A and B are shown apart, each in its own frame.
Chain A
Amino acid sequence: MRKLLGGFTGIVLVALYAPIVVMIVFSFNESKYSVKWTGFTLDWYRMLAHDDKIHKDLWNTLKISSVSTVLATLLGTMAAMAARNTFRGKRLYQTLVALPVMVPDIVLGMSLYALFRFLGIPRSLVTAVIAHTTFNLAYVAVVVSARLQGLDRSIELAAQDLGAPPLWAFWKVTLPAILPGVVSGAVLAFTLSFDDFVITYFTTGPGNGTLPMRIYSLVRFAVTPEINALSTVILAASLVLIAAALKFSRVPVAGGGR
């Protein structure tokens, strides 16, 4: 029975990875149109390297992702910490924070678009950052919240008992203890932002396109190896991010207790 399950798992994994592998391989294919392999070339990558529009897209993506990650991490951590207390309307509050995760991203994109349109605010990188921050906030809050739940509050009380003023206790005791959670949340937010298409599509300005949007518009035109190359590059960037994230999650936290 295990063999059957194992075999099936293998098939599933192949189905998950085969298309990607094929796509990467064919990004080096000389022929522009046919699916037959005609020779190895780096031409498509060269084209990418010289494509200014793509560079701009990359920059935009990075800008939006980094700024929104910082904001979302800040707000999300605050939200998670506030949720530790009990207060009236806590249920409502929790629902509000979780809302972005409860609906498809097209809903978020469309409603923010409606807002900006209603207020007469032209769409730009700023509006895109606002949108990204909003949905990333929820993810950071969930991750940090989980970490907080596992936190033993007695260490904060011990710090205060030993004479530490609340703010000092927070900085030196609570924050270091939840730092891995905060970092995980931040990495999650950055990755989700970097890869986001739908929300960005609805909330960014003309000329402020991102890499995922570029892919979308290219594919609607025609399938060319250039897209393969671009996709491979994006994939590589994601992998670098993941590797960095894994490295970060091993950062030792000052002060011991797990």
Chain B
Amino acid sequence: MKGRFLSLLLPPTAWLVAFLVVPTMVLAGSAFSADGMRALAHAGTWVLFWRSFWIAVVSTAVCLAASYPVAYFIAGCSTKWRNLLLFLVVLPFWTNLLVRTYALKFCLDPIGWSDTSAVIFAIVQNFLPFMILPLYASIEKLPPRLLEASQDLGASPARTFWKVTVPLTMPGIAAGSILVFIPVLGVFALPEFINERTVLIGSQINLYYGQGDTGAGSALTLVLMIFTILLTWIYSRFRKSEGLV
């Protein structure tokens, strides 16, 4: 019994240690080099982080605002419509991000829309499925009787929404937000397509990489890694359920 368990546990663990833990250590080593430290000392780097952070926050917020009505609508549909709509929403997720971004670029270029708002629009448009699905899952679990009870006690539909629906769908909101925020923080090809002069953390890392400045690239990557792991850890602290993710 024990032998069987270990034979199951060891290979994936060994793999992950070799290709996750060790690279992180190498990354850290590379980051704490002269090049790396220089990059971190440079004020512009932190401006970049700040900028990427804010774009990610805004994108996530807009994504949430756009996704909630859609998720709410789908949750109120009949099963047949629900399946169809969910399928339509999820389908883009299964296709190539670059292809989708390129298609958007192809439409936006002629109009000439390529500033930061266009970048945010592109991000939101691409990450909608990531937000809609967890929101939908949460909204769908909401017992309708609770909404009735709220109205019965005198709360208008609007008040019921803010005082009952939103608090109770917080798990979905949190899950969706994390699923969008973290990848967006490190995105680089997407914004570059829309506006090649966009410089975010991702593109800066790419720049260092292209110049062969591994130390600087590693330093930025390490900071990004620590930040997102920290965020995920905080998120899991506030969640009460089990599971791997």
User: B-contacting residues of A (Cβ < 8 Å)?
Assistant: 1-2, 5-6, 8-9, 12-13, 15-20, 22-23, 26, 35, 75-76, 78-79, 81-83, 85, 87, 93-94, 96-107, 110-115, 117-118, 130-131, 133-134, 137, 141-142, 145-146, 149, 166-167, 191, 194-195, 197-198, 202, 212, 215-216, 219-220, 223, 227-228, 231, 234-235, 238-239, 241-242
Contacts and interface: CB of A to CB of B under 8 A. Distances in A.
A110 B103 contact: no
A76 B12 CA distance: 7
B69 A219 contact: no
20 contacts: A12-B66, A35-B110, A76-B12, A79-B9, A96-B20, A104-B182, A106-B188, A106-B202, A110-B217, A110-B221, A111-B24, A113-B214, A134-B16, A141-B244, A197-B96, A197-B97, A202-B209, A216-B189, A231-B103, A234-B99
Interface string B130-146: 00000000000000000
Which interface residue of A8, A87, A111, A115 has the most chain B CB atoms within 10 A? A111
Contacts of A98: 244-245
Interface of B: 1, 4-5, 8-9, 11-13, 15-17, 19-24, 26-27, 29-30, 66, 69-70, 72-74, 76, 85, 88-89, 91-92, 94-100, 102-107, 109-110, 125, 128, 157, 182-183, 185-189, 192-193, 196, 202, 205-206, 209, 214, 217-218, 221, 224-225, 228-229, 232, 243-245
Which interface residue of B20, B105, B217, B232 has the most chain A CB atoms within 10 A? B20
Contacts of B29: 118
Given A19-B103, A235-B99, A8 B232 contact: no
Given A23-B106, A103-B182, A5 B99 contact: no
B186 A134 contact: no
A231 B102 contact: yes
Contact of B26 (A87, A115, A141, A167): A115
Contact of B12 (A15, A97, A118, A146): A97
A226 to B, nearest CB: 12
